[in-house]
Structure 1
Amino acid sequence: MSPTRSAEVFAPALTPFHADLSVNRSAFIGFCRWLVSQRVGLAVFGTNSEANSLSVAEKIDLLEALVEAGISPAKLLPGVGLCALADTIVLTKKAVELGCAGTLTLPPFYFKPAHDDGLFAYYSQIIQAVGSDRLKIYLYHIPQFTGVGITHALIERLIKAYPRTVVGIKDSSGDWANTESMLRSFPGFSVFPASESLLEKALPLGAAGCISATANVQPRTIVNAIEHWGSHEFAGLQAEANAVRSLFQRHPMIPALKYVVGEAMGDRTWRNVRPPLCPAGDEWAGTLARELAALNFSMAAS
């Protein structure tokens, strides 16, 4: 048995900062190159990229820098959804201009409650303003952060109105019943669970792969698991990925990921995060390092 389509892995690439909290462009490009070398795509400006702590200008600069550095735009699925419609349109136009594979588009998340009519109008305005058949929108459902859910009724309405543009969703709700329902209700729609731990259940239902925070540190393991789906090796790879994922989930995810990347790179500045986040605490970070060592974890061998 195999997935019903070619499944992909995207990493919401971490954003490194200098001591003054300005973006470290060279470190970002280098890290993204490493991720691509591990055969994953780049969901830059996702939640774990600290996207909503980055300005529009910073995002455009980094997106252009990645393409200028030779990273194929076909590997890029940038996060573009912001509260200000005009900002979302600017970022979306830039993504289309550069030839990105698509956009990962949060709903506007300040004014609540947000009703489906208003959310439909938001996405419709983006599509009309960009005016390109090259635009591919992947919705981003993460209600525990946004407080704004993307309902099945809204998905159905968007697919009906824009079948060639609204092509998928990342479900970060953490609710398997919701993910399963999306997979069963919208065949042909690219549904990405937000955790590799769901691959075993999601792939048989036609999941498009996953967009996972821990793809930043174990990209190869996740890719290998997908490639070995249906073989006797899959269970072991899934268990390996699950064990690592579970350790990170016990700690603040972004500081934990940055701590581990910094240790692997030999660069403590990777620990820097923008407020309101706080850097990894020495006590719990040390515990995480020991737990990962007990699993013989290594980014180089992930």
Structure 2
Amino acid sequence: MSAFAQPRVFAPVVTPFADDLTVDTDRLVAFCRWLTGQGAGLALFGTNSEANSLALAERRALLDRVVEAGIDPAQLLPGTGACALPEAIELTRHAQRAGCAGALMLPPFYYKGVSDDGLFGYYAEVIEAVGSADLRVLLYHIPQFTGVPISHALIERLIAAYPQTVVGIKDSSGDWANTEAMLRRFPGFAVFPASEALLTRALPLGAAGCISATANIQPHAIAALLRAATPEARALCDAKVSTIRLAVQAQPMIPALKRIVAHFANDPAWTRVRPPLTQMDAAQSAALIDQLVALGFSMPALDVANA
């Protein structure tokens, strides 16, 4: 059975840093354990993981550390896209050999205006170089960051060439019309919206769940929405998760997520980000936390200071 046969929520896991801005692996592992315990899979090295501020060697070592800590690789969907083709191949091969559920792949994002032929060549080179029937690739469409959209024609071509390998996509465009069109055009293809606020529209069309930034802070609530057995139960869950999503996405997302984790874990170390990002200022932070508390938000059993 496909790892994406049932709707799932994946969190692009925020990355904790030590005073010297090296990755705090113990806090990372502890947070990964909390997320999986709350019903979420782990999209390590996503946008909100500050993945493009991490070196290739760091990403390899962190994936190894998470697996060595006993976290089931079937829960892992690491980001492996890179501008440099050899790095994308290395990261994707590493994820496949670790037994991950799949590899979430950005297109190469420096050169703009590249053709579908060029993008097809990039993905094909990675797939052929890894050379494993066990590899599962999910495309990552976030054109507002990459400047490199993944067209429906390219998706169709990749599915035709690699039907057992190219199995899904994360649509972070924020364009519901695009998400809906992919769901209708590619039945059986694992389409993950990037916001839980879209799930009540996406699930009836066959969405595979969501890969959402705010799954870092409300994984249990999103998992409950995915499990909801009736339209009424789904609507109730949707109201809760969408309200929190709207509050957080109004802020700089990565610093806000880290500030929320820091507050509810009572662990200020979580506020650190790598430059060029900056932390939320005190007034912004206090206002956001006050808003969440007023909404009755909490992060149950959060203890992520140590692995």
Fold shared, TM-score > 0.5 on shorter chain: yes
User: What is the rounded CA distance, in whole Å, between the counterparts of 1:223 and 1:279 in structure 2?
Assistant: 29
User: What is the rounded CA distance, in whole Å, between the counterparts of 1:140 and 1:223 in structure 2?
Assistant: 22
Where in structure 2 are the equivalents of 1:171-210 lying within 5 Å? 171-210=171-210
Where in structure 2 are the equivalents of 1:10-49 lying within 5 Å? 10-49=10-49
Q: Deviations over 1:48-107 (max 9, x none)?
A: 000000000000110000110000000000000000000010101110111000000000
Unaligned regions of 5+ residues in structure 1, if any? none
Partner of 1:278 in structure 2?
A: 278
Cα offset for 1:226?
A: 1.0
Cα offset for 1:231?
A: 4.2
User: What is the rounded CA distance, in whole Å, between the counterparts of 2:47 and 2:5 in structure 1?
Assistant: 26
User: What is the rounded CA distance, in whole Å, between the counterparts of 1:233 and 1:160 in structure 2?
Assistant: 38
The CA RMSD measured in Å over matched residues stands at 1.2
Unaligned regions of 5+ residues in structure 2, if any? 303-307
Question: Conserved in 2, the CA contact under 8 Å of 1:138 and 1:166?
Answer: yes
Q: Deviations over 1:225-277 (max 9, x none)?
A: 11014242221110000010000011000000000001111111110001111
Question: Conserved in 2, the CA contact under 8 Å of 1:5 and 1:206?
Answer: no
Runs of 4+, deviation exceeding 6 Å: none
Where in structure 2 are the equivalents of 1:54-133 lying within 5 Å? 54-133=54-133
User: What is the rounded CA distance, in whole Å, between the counterparts of 1:173 and 1:229 in structure 2?
Assistant: 28
Name the amino acid aligned to 1:106.
Answer: L
User: What is the rounded CA distance, in whole Å, between the counterparts of 1:264 and 1:186 in structure 2?
Assistant: 40
Name the amino acid aligned to 2:295.
Answer: L
Say which SS state the counterpart of residue 232 (structure 2) adopts.
coil
Name the amino acid aligned to 2:262.
Answer: G
> Does residue 7 of structure 1 match 2:7?
yes
Partner of 1:290 in structure 2?
A: 290
User: What is the rounded CA distance, in whole Å, between the counterparts of 2:280 and 2:85 in structure 1?
Assistant: 34
Identical amino acids, percent of aligned pairs: 58
Name the amino acid aligned to 1:43.
Answer: A
User: What is the rounded CA distance, in whole Å, between the counterparts of 1:86 and 1:31 in structure 2?
Assistant: 30
Where in structure 2 are the equivalents of 1:114-263 lying within 5 Å? 114-263=114-263
Question: Conserved in 2, the CA contact under 8 Å of 1:196 and 1:210?
Answer: yes
User: What is the rounded CA distance, in whole Å, between the counterparts of 1:266 and 1:133 in structure 2?
Assistant: 45
Say which SS state the counterpart of residue 184 (structure 2) adopts.
helix
User: What is the rounded CA distance, in whole Å, between the counterparts of 2:135 and 2:145 in structure 1?
Assistant: 26
Cα offset for 1:281?
A: 1.1
